[in-house]
Structure 1
Amino acid sequence: MELDDAYSNGAYIDGAEEFPPRWAAKAEAFRVSLGDRAKLDIAYGPGERNKFDLFLPEGKAKGLFVFVHGGYWLLFDKNSWSHLAAGALAKGWAVAMPSYDLCPDVSIADITSQIAAAVTQAAREVEGPISLAGHSAGGHLVARMLDKDLLAPEVGNRLRTAVPISPLSDLRPLMRTSMNEKFKLDEAAAEAESPILMQERYDAEVTVWVGADERPSFLDQAQWLADAWSCDQKIDPRKHHFDIIDALSDMDSEMVAILTK
């Protein structure tokens, strides 16, 4: 369809097919390395995929960091990203990583509700401030968490920082991709799920993050969100859609510093 190429990432990244198995291997090794500080498959809902992993720092946690994975609401689960908890863990934060149901089995709005349930359950497990980050479709989902209609005040008022990474902030263009056969978005649904159109938001500090070498459509999506919310934007030099998340594993990165300050 008209915008299929505009929203295609892998076709423009050298060695794109090597990233998913590498992510999965690093994630598994990281979980093993944590031993009993990795609390796996905590249920937040009734479905098989309605679970999150919780990684605990040594000593009392300073707060809770929740990372939501991407994959166009069509791919992946929590098991490919565990290693990205390393940076926040080293700073003394607990890290939760949820899975969620995928389209077309559920709608994007259903997934948004599931992530709200996951954040709520994780907040029961860990005291203190909450920081959120998500990548691509996950960037959309963490941006949606700032909607005051999604999280109860006792959770929403704990939100300190949100970093949507390469987010999808306006879902209306996706109606002009072949993926919409699975999303089943119409104009009303796309508008309702577009963070740029959100009105009442929790007062978290937001930094929109995107790689300088990403597709123009993702640079646009990041800019649209930064403009709509009048928030900070970081364009990371020499980063593309698949390696933009690497900074989360580095305790000394600027991204981790923002999320754990």
Structure 2
Amino acid sequence: MGSVPPRRNKMRRNEMIDWDDAFENMAYIPGGAAMPGQWAEAAAAYRAEMARAGRLQENLAYGDGAREVMDILAPEGDSRGLVVFVHGGYWRAFDKSSWSHLARGCVENGWTVALPSYPLAPEARISEITACITSAVTTAAGQVSGPIRLAGHSAGGHLVTRMMCQGVLPDAVATRLARVTSISGLHQLGPLVGIKLNDTLRLTPEEADAESPAAHDPLPNVPLSAWVGSQERPEFLRQTRLIEEVWALKGADVTAIYDPGHNHFTVIGALEQPDSPLTKEILR
């Protein structure tokens, strides 16, 4: 796969898994605490640049809630289609304003990029967030013609993979879906039920199963790229292998890519670069 060939990592079985630690990222990333502030600064600078160029549409509503809004960033000249990027934050943090700069790579390749905010836990359940992203993608699709590509990071990787499950998107939108890229995504939510994070998420075992992409059938003829940093926590590597193996058995075209040298936070930086392997993967 270009300069980042797919490979598999083996994990040892562990009879006693500390699931709280398994989903912890910040403590294992040097300088991780400073990164959200850096993202926000870079995002604000890129929004200002795009606003000066007249290529930014801010706060387009896709629903009635205060957080049910999106920004749309347009390329110079004619658009080749739509990319929707869904941010992460364990369904409980951040909004679109921290990630605008990650649209640059796709925009400079001629694609329109939509970045939605969405309601957060605990006010919203994950099933409700899924419904909001369905509305966001549908609304964005009405603004931009051509093929649709979805990408999301972490919880956003879960949400875009949910969009690829049969019966989620309206048929008119699903037929335009050209590729989904889940970056460090979560595809099996059952392990979250018993950890401290679930005090906020309020997942029941039934909702965890219903909201797990691995438990559903994928849309036919839509490729999935499952991208993850090679230095991420073992659970995120496992989640990547899981969706590759489960959906491949269901006939899906799934490629798993383990990005050398990157962790859960640094893996998304390549989206700023129009010629990076990650940007190319989203658009291929």
TM bin, normalised by shorter chain, reads over 0.9
- Displacement of 1:83 in angstroms is 0.3
Alignment of 1:189-228 (within 5 A): 189-228=207-246
Please name the residue that 1:8 is paired with. 24
CA contact (8 A) 2:166 2:216 kept: no
* Conservation of the 8 A alpha-carbon contact between 1:157 and 1:203: no
Distance in 1, Cα, partners of 2:45 & 2:218: 41
3-state SS, counterpart of residue 117 of structure 1:
helix
Structure 2 CA distance for aligned equivalents of residues 259 and 62 of structure 1: 13
- What is the TM-score with the length of structure 1 in the denominator? 0.98
Residue 63, structure 1, aligned to residue 81, structure 2? yes
Identity of counterpart residues, as a percentage?
Answer: 44
Paired position in structure 1 for 2:47 = 31
Deviations 1:191-235 (A, max 9, x none): 000011112525311110000100011111111111111211000
Instruction: Give the equivalent residue in structure 1 for 2:147.
Output: 129
Amino acid at match of 1:19: M
Alpha-carbon deviations, 1:128-175, whole Å to 9, x = none?
A: 000011000000000000123211111011000111000110000001
The structure 2 residue matched to 1:232, chosen from 225, 248, 255, is 255
Residue matched to 1:91 = 109
Aligned to 2:283: 260
CA distance in 1, matches of 2:218, 2:235: 26
Indicate the residue corresponding to 1:244 in structure 2.
267
CA contact 2:217–2:247 (8 Å) conserved in 1: no
TM-fit CA distance, 1:2:
4.2
Partner letter of residue 207 of structure 1? S
What SS does the corresponding residue of 2:207 show, helix, strand or coil? helix
For residues 26 and 170 of structure 1, what CA distance do their matches in structure 2 show? 32
In the alignment, structure 1 segments of 5+ residues that lack a partner are none
Change beyond 3 A, Cα 1:72–1:61: same
SS at match of 2:256: strand
- Matched residue of 1:150: which SS? coil
Q: Say if 2:183 is the partner of 1:165.
A: yes
Give the residue type in structure 1 aligned to 2:129. Answer: I
Once residues 179 and 113 of structure 1 are traced to their aligned partners in structure 2, the CA distance between those partners, rounded to angstroms, is 21
1:3 & 1:84 partners in 2: Cα distance? 30
- TM-score, L = length of structure 2: 0.90
Residues 146 and 202 of structure 1 are in contact (CA less than 8 Å); yes or no, is this contact kept in structure 2? no
Tell me, what secondary structure is at the counterpart of 1:40? Answer: strand
- List runs of 5+ in structure 2 lacking aligned partners: 1-16, 249-253
Q: Deviations over 1:96-116 (max 9, x none)?
A: 000000001010000000000
- Output one character per residue of 1:76-104: Cα deviation in whole Å (capped at 9) or x when no partner: 00000000000000100000000000001
Q: In 2 relative to 1, CA 193–86 (structure 1 residues): closer, same or farther, beyond 3 Å?
A: same
CA distance in structure 2 between the aligned counterparts of 1:260 and 1:214, rounded to whole angstroms: 24
Residue 112 (structure 1) aligned with residue 135 (structure 2): no
The Cα shift of 1:257 comes to 1.3
Alignment of 1:75-86 (within 5 A): 75-86=93-104
